[in-house]
Amino acid sequence: MFSLSPKDDKFFDLFIENSNTIYETSLLFRDYVNNPEDSENKLKVIKDMEHKGDHQQHNIINELNKTFVTPFDREDIYSVATLMDDIIDLMEASSSRFVMFDVHNTTEEAKFLAELVVKAAEEIITLMTEFKNMKKSKKLQECIVNLNKIEEEGDLNFRRAVRILFTEYTDPKDFLHVIKWREIYQYMERTLDACETLANVIEGVAMKNA
The answer for residues whose C-beta is within 8 angstroms of residue 44's C-beta and 6 or more apart is none
Within a domain: residue 2? no
Residue 32: give the domain boundaries.
10-208
Within a domain: residue 82? yes
Give the Cα separation of 138 and 152 in Å (integer). 23
Within a domain: residue 192? yes
Exposed, middle or buried, 99 (CB in 10 Å: 0-12/13-18/19+)? middle
Please give the pLDDT value at position 6: 45
Within a domain: residue 4? no
Question: 0.85 exceeded by the pTM?
Answer: yes
Within a domain: residue 1? no
Q: Summarize the confidence of residues 11-17 as an average pLDDT.
A: 95
Within a domain: residue 129? yes
Q: Please give the tally of structural domains in the chain.
A: 1
Q: What is the mean pLDDT of the chain?
A: 93
Within a domain: residue 5? no
Residue 67 dihedral angles phi and psi, to the nearest 5°: -100, 125
Within a domain: residue 122? yes
Q: Summarize the confidence of residues 59-66 as an average pLDDT.
A: 92
pLDDT at 2 over 60: no
- Confidence band (pLDDT; 50, 70, 90) for 63? very high
Q: Identify the CA nearest to 152 among candidates 196, 197, 108, 194.
A: 196
Q: Summarize the confidence of residues 127-148 as an average pLDDT.
A: 93
- Confidence band (pLDDT; 50, 70, 90) for 8? low
> Where is average pLDDT lowest: 1-5, 9-13, 108-112, 118-122?
1-5
CATH of the domain at 106: 1.20.58.220
- Confidence band (pLDDT; 50, 70, 90) for 37? confident
